[in-house]
Amino acid sequence: MALVSAKDMLEKARDGKYAVGQFNINNLEWTKSILQTAEELKSPVILGVSEGAGKYMTGFKTVAAMVKAMIEEMHITVPVALHLDHGTYDGCYKCIEAGFSSIMFDGSHFPIAENIEKTKELVAVCNHLGLSIEAEVGSIGGEEDGVIGKGECADPEECKKIADLGVTMLAAGIGNIHGKYPANWEGLSFETLAAVKKKVGNMPLVLHGGTGIPTDMIKKAISLGVAKINVNTECQLSFQAATRKYVEEGKDLVGKGFDPRKLLAPGAQAIKDTVKEKMEIFGSIGKA
């Protein structure tokens, strides 16, 4: 199956009251683990690529070529969208050119008029090419690959202005944070989420910072219109823990335990376990 836009899968998720996971990728192992899990569980999936991760993998063209080839060689039949995460204006055009099927333009740090102007232009380009586009209002707190946000809640009126431009999905800050949540985190602002939903109607909403949000909050967010949930740090942490255990147990010192295919196997399995756990909570299993 070829890469698909995220539009159909998100509209189905919104109507079916579940969410599709966006899992960020860093390398071949990450991508393979996520695709394998999605296929095994018959779940649609979105592969997220931050600009930093794209650069690390030598560029967006490499990423698109790798993902497309993996879908073919691994006989993936579930819908897969390849999505730029927190894209800059230039990054969006680079990904479009590289063959991504979905982009996020993060204009949340611009004054709203400039966010609107740039989002509008990119919506026209994406519509023409059949790609999905995510926009952001209010910022996601914390730091992800150099993108730093203060974490202010979105203004529902501004959300409506951006939603009316015809974006496919909207990320609205509701007190969510990239990375681990601090002990004194106040939780998601369901008040903001409900107010945004009221203004934007049927627009599928995106919840960033999926790592560490308690299951009951995830379920409530889905019931209020969230149809896409982004997870990045949690796969990194589970990969780290499994790799650390392998090395600390001295397994890399036994036989050919140093072989990268053995050394990276527990981490790759840990990513699969995390993705499965998230897909169960999000309700996307069997929805492909």
**CB 258 → ligand 13P: shortest distance, Å?**
30
**CB 211 → ligand 13P: shortest distance, Å?**
3
Rank residues 201 and 214 by Cβ distance to ligand 13P and give the closer one: 214
| Residues designated as active site | 85
Task: Give CA–CA dist 236/258, Å, rounded.
Answer: 21
**CB 250 → ligand 13P: shortest distance, Å?**
31
Distance set, CA 107 to CA 51, 103, 202 (Å): 14, 12, 22
**CB 188 → ligand 13P: shortest distance, Å?**
13
Sequential DSSP letters for 161-223: HHHTTT-SEEEE-SS-BSSSPPTT-----HHHHHHHHHHHTTPPEEE---TT--HHHHHHHHH
Residue 143 bridge partners (DSSP): 148
Rank residues 93 and 185 by Cβ distance to ligand 13P and give the closer one: 185
Rank residues 177 and 246 by Cβ distance to ligand 13P and give the closer one: 177
Rank residues 43 and 238 by Cβ distance to ligand 13P and give the closer one: 238
Going by C-alpha positions, the residue among 183, 180, 179, 161 that lies closest to residue 170 is 161
Give the interface with ligand 13P as residue ranges (CB under 6 A). Answer: 24, 48, 85-86, 144, 178-179, 208-211, 230-234
Going by C-alpha positions, the residue among 156, 138, 231, 153 that lies closest to residue 186 is 153
